[in-house]
Structure 1
């Protein structure tokens, strides 16, 4: 049930009158007994229901949002089909109808950069060392193997092995992608690995040439920088972290490596006018990359996905480098398979390398890697997802083009057999016009020293990290170009021309929840009663299982009919609403800033934000990202609901409500007030900085690349808005930064440089007195000097004598 706008306008005055009357009665009772014990603890605020809960509010809040997010994941199958307009009337019509989905899929996995113009597979060793013949790394009676690389993007190469049939021209080309725990040499049996069945050698025996790329591994040897330090993050996570903020992804980079190889093989095919089908197969992580590549590129004729295809509603439990923004809002594995249709697709449920978490923290390495597990899939789950995928092949009359193979015991709960079963390979080869699979293949014998897998892994990791650093350095130019349509000639012009930018950031970076709010249902209880103010714990309903909560401080000298400004005081990471009332050792204030402002006569509200509980709250981000949502997708509605309720209180001036947040509350200051117009001003304390560098730099010691806050990255933010642009979205409302010189969030130079853009913006609009920055000689804390003066000035409330 939702109160109509008209009903709400009628409801507020009635509630206000009732509240004033009740408050007058309360003040009369209070006057008869001047001691702080005149009110009974637990008593509810007039106009609210009693708050009766034994569970800590922060725990209640975080667990509720987690339940909401899980429920949304479970119903995503019902909602994502609205993004598809499939036309099954013919193959051509179908391919045309899914073209927009294919484009969006490429974008969300970061396949957005143009590849090199002249691709080519190059032998790693110089031919001159071996007179004229290419250097053969290894061979058998049917196969020769070469160490190769190929250009992909500027500064990025693929590396691996190329296997060719001995003594004859290939009849088909296969790009075979091993799991991230396997090197190409292990994948073909040149390095002993009990988990690997070198089935790709059978493809060469059938006449296929096979390219085997190197994937970034799950080791952590090169995750860091020698000038800063190293972490226990898998290489895949380390590159994921430096990629996400600029709209790139480790998945996308590896798909690009596959597609650059396809570019080469297609160009060679065209130059020789020889029809040679192209197939992609992969195991585990390689299955993910191969399936995604086949979904993006229709030039791939056949795909074999081994040990990856499954229901993805629990993707948040998997390693974070599989986290894709908005994936399940449009693309379950069955939908990705539909992008491969009507081409050949073989799904093999098989055993894959399992992962219980990131590498252990060892001496000399930082911790902080995100948790995540990989287990062999449950066969029943794979069958269900396969049935959904098959439903897109059948209307096209292509049901024989998609096949499910169970490797090992098909009656077991989980897949037991290795990748590359006879049935899977035979099905895959049908898509390459190779109809028979004969015998077993002879093992390879090496003729040269095998490639150094550690040195190759270092090159592959460092190339991608350095590319990301170049993109970060170029991101200010990209943002300036992006904001070119914003008109700074007048305040009115700015507000008009930036509405679309504000909507874009909310929708594409934060993620907007498309749900109507529940009735407010305010509950409260008195938790303390001091001489100058009393405090109520408050809980409001937002969505099912999602609450807004906090502590309301009401000065005791409020007069009937008086309306005062409100300051919303936001705590930092792992804090509580009560922590804004407490004195800290590093603070300049006698008490917490919320209490100090209440002593100055402001009405104060300290919200509880959900970034508390370690992995418990970070799981909210993990569960939400696949549906194109973030932690702030919940925090913004929580604040909207809070302000909606505050505006019903008789002593609140709804036009004078300010936001003041520290640390993670400073992050909130940058991401909530710009999108909640009821906030009259915003103060960001101990967080404002050059945000894109802070989240991506591999050279800055306090970069989030090196910390345990694995929820921090926001998809493609670097190309849309950093903190300067977010602050400018406050225009013409006042905005202030509070900054301690010894705050480790970022160097003063980063903060000053980013803020200079804000000050110039306000000055150019003729409202320079509406923004300021205060530097002070202190650490990561609130000074409460210039900021308090800023509040008094812009909320028009007299400073105490």
Structure 2
């Protein structure tokens, strides 16, 4: 190549490079490299804020999640207040019926307490009883129920006892503290010693304490969580232990009066009140440091929850179940305990993740007026005595209780234990048995988890699948049970929707609107409606709608564009680009403690978070169905994560949903909530921070296969990433196999039930699910 040609070539290249550079610099709209084009839809705020035709203008700038949370919280508080006013009078119904309903609320019928047991000495023959001034003290155990024991101290006078007494300490007390005052070197006698010294045979049971375990939960909440999912509570278990102990006492040599009294302080007072209400063998009950109004039950520790308690029972109504058997109520300082309290000593209500995984809870302290007001509602006031004392279980209190119960015995206020405090603590302390007690109860929860599969299977076998119509009829009783007893429903009628809207964002192919709808007084629904730009709003054509539901701590904005695109893939907008109408609602599982504590408010009156979410979706689907461009027969649901939980719970109760897709949530749900073995705890909620997730008695009624059965015969699909950490593939497949069997083998609906397995994590994949929607809703790919 000649030097002249080389110079000419170089000069040409330089000229070309300069022209390209200048054209790029001077161009008003340069074309970006392909790799800089974002994967999410590019959406811009709408300059035009006009409302959707047929709706009113939506005014003001609001955090609509806050608006909904505030409205629902106030609505629930009003319902709690109403529950107290609307409770049936205790004397308006038979005590037997009310006693049975109270027991059923606690799940007492699910396990049978041992009614023919006897005490065994702890430590074997070598552990001889301790004799002190005519009273024998023995560490004992007894069979309580289903492989679970009770543990306690038994005090027996040398003479024929005048009565049997079970005196229950607070959960954080060792039973020995009722024999001698804790840490008291003068070994003054405690209340149990005073009763034994007066001639009573006394049993002091050991309760599960509130110590913090390796999962940073109290031991009581740790045991309560799986029990709740399986239709029981920790209180249920402790009631069985006490009731079995009554039988053991009755098998000992007879007492002079033949009576059995039951009393306690703090948690022990609560337990005494509950057992006394349901067990008529109890002749007199002492409730110390507990009785009061329960309107704020939701602020107490998780294990004190009773599903639907406040609809019929406050403390006054429970005491009324004692009838003429007598109740002695001692208003005095109760135990102090709090978990996750703020600097003012009140329960934390955080909107950011907390450092501890359990429910915030605090034991209440009631003033005299509050206790007096509650006591005024007790039905049989003649059999009740209420006193106010500066300290619990004084000799005056014990004497008055014996007198009220008709037991002829005299309490010596100066009774002391004539023995070395150190000797007593070495030989009689029961704290070492805490670990055994906790493990026995944990194992029973796991037995109940396994047994729940049998119970659910038996229920489903009874369904008539001979035809679609027969199946639909057979499902209706189960649907009512799901609505009324599992989810819980309010009788309030939906308000007129009074839709307000404003244009929100625009993309190349879509336009969206913010929308709010009235649901109940003070409660709204909010969401983002996204429309294809080629859709006529005049009603000349009607399109299917897909309701696209976000997950935990999410917002509608997360499912439409750049926000959280990695998880949601802007699936609401992508579906609108394919020709669908989409609506992304704001569900109120957001802002941490604010929504989680609402679950406990709801539970106290027999409701759940979904008791409000379901009506919100009824209002949403009713409004969507009225839009002129919507096909009212084709409104589908598609949700991720907590939105997947919604996909299992909402469509069974919202008939306008014509199909449901559960993404990144479908699972062997009862196992995920109740399993506590080490291998399962990687996935289980039992030790995690989602303390609201547990649903009372769901284990014996509706796992995800049973919920899907309530969606059938409508199409149903699961979207599952192999690397989704919510569960291993095998538990997802195990539960889905039951759904597939129902659709394909029993109902002959092979094309209506699918699962997509894809290589990916906890996210929307949007491949086979989009095809599933197009197949069943009739829109072809562009």
TM-score, normalized by length of structure 2? 0.88
Q: Displacement of 1:117 after TM fit?
A: 4.9
Structure 1 partner of 2:16: none
Whether the 8 Å contact between 2:309 and 2:604 is mirrored in structure 1 is yes
3-state DSSP class of the match of 2:566? coil
Instruction: Tell me if structure 1 keeps the 8 A contact 2:108–2:232.
Output: yes
In the TM superposition, what is the alpha-carbon distance from 1:86 to its structure 2 partner? Answer: 3.0
What residue in structure 2 maps to residue 6 of structure 1?
A: none
Query: Secondary structure of 1:789's match?
Result: helix
**Could you say which residue in structure 2 is the equivalent of 1:385?**
374
Cα deviation, 1:186-225, whole Å, max 9, x if unaligned, reads 232275279998222211121111100011101023xxxx
1:67-106 paired onto structure 2 within 5 Å: 67-81=74-88, 86=92, 97-106=94-103
Aligned to 1:567: 546
Q: Is 1:578 matched up with 2:565?
A: no
Query: Offset of 1:478 from its aligned partner?
Result: 0.8
Distance 1:452 1:423, change over 3 A: closer
Residues 685, 444 of structure 1: alpha-carbon distance in 2 compared, 3 angstrom cutoff: farther
Distance 1:625 1:444, change over 3 A: farther
Do the aligned partners of residues 444 and 253 (structure 1) sit closer, same or farther apart at CA in structure 2, a change above 3 Å counting?
farther
Q: How does 1:265-414 map onto structure 2 within 5 Å?
A: 265-268=249-252, 275-357=257-339, 367-389=356-378, 392-394=379-381, 399=382, 401-408=383-390
Matched with 1:531 is 508
Question: Residue 136 in 1 paired to residue 129 in 2?
Answer: yes
d(CA) in 2 for partners of 1:158, 1:618: 33
Q: 1:155 to 1:716 in 2, by over 3 A?
A: same
Instruction: Please give the alpha-carbon distance, in whole angstroms, between the structure 1 residues aligned to 2:731 and 2:403.
Output: 56
**CA–CA distance in 2 between the matches of 1:691 and 1:697?**
10
1:251 paired to 2:257: no
Deviation at 1:450, TM superposition (A): 3.2
User: For the Cα contact (< 8 Å) 1:684–1:737, is it kept in 2?
Assistant: yes
CA contact (8 A) 1:548 1:607 kept: yes
Instruction: Return the match for 2:443 from 454, 459, 466.
Output: 466
Structure 1 residue 483 displacement after superposition? 2.7
Structure 1 contact 219–359 (Cα < 8 Å) conserved: no
Task: Check if 1:479 corresponds to 2:471.
Answer: no
2:777 is matched with which residue?
Answer: 795
1:303/1:428 contact within 8 Å kept: no
Q: Are 1:771 and 2:738 matched, yes or no?
A: no
For residue 599 of structure 1, report the CA deviation from its aligned partner: 1.0
User: How far apart, CA to CA, are the structure 2 residues paired with 1:619 and 1:366?
Assistant: 16
Pick the structure with greater CA Rg.
2
CA distance in 2, matches of 1:479, 1:38: 50
The corresponding residue for 1:151 is 143
Distance 1:308 1:53, change over 3 A: farther
Contact 2:75–2:521 under 8 Å retained in 1: yes
Q: Which residue of 1 aligns with 2:122?
A: 124
In the alignment, which of 175, 178, 182 is matched to residue 169 of structure 2?
178
- How far residue 586 of structure 1 moved from its aligned partner, in angstroms, is 7.4
Q: CA deviation at 1:497?
A: 0.9
User: 2:169, 2:204 within 8 Å by CA — same for their partners in 1?
Assistant: yes
Per the TM alignment, residue 513 of structure 1 is displaced from its structure 2 partner at its CA by: 0.8
C-alpha contact (below 8 Å) 1:177/1:213 kept by paired residues:
yes
Worse overlay, 679-688 or 703-712: 703-712
TM superposition shift of 1:276: 1.7
Pairwise CA distance, 1:72: 1.0
Partner of 2:5: none
Cα distance in structure 1, aligned partners of 2:418 and 2:329 = 28
Match of 1:202 among 184, 194, 197: 194
SS at match of 1:622: helix
**Structure 2 gap segments, 5+ residues each:** 1-41, 343-353
SS in 2 for 1:182: coil
Shift of the 38–762 alpha-carbon distance from structure 1 to 2, 3 Å rule, reads closer
Contact 1:367–1:707, Cα closer than 8 Å, also in 2 = no
Local SS of the residue matching 2:427: coil
The verdict on how the C-alpha distance between 1:146 and 1:268 changes in structure 2, with shifts beyond 3 A counting, is closer
| Distance change (3 Å), C-alpha of 1:551 and 1:85 | farther
Q: Is the 8 A contact 1:346 1:424 kept in 2?
A: no
Please report how far the alpha carbon of residue 248 of structure 1 lies from its aligned counterpart in structure 2 after TM superposition: 1.0
* Secondary structure at the counterpart of residue 171 of structure 2: coil
**Counterpart pick for 1:621 among 572, 578, 599:** 599
Distance in 1 (CA, whole Å) between partners of 2:520 and 2:577 is 34
Unaligned runs of 5+ in 1: 1-34, 88-96, 222-229, 409-416
Distance 1:37 1:472, change over 3 A: closer
Report what 2:708 is aligned to: 727
Q: Tell me the C-alpha RMSD between the 2 structures.
A: 2.4
Aligned to 1:44: 51
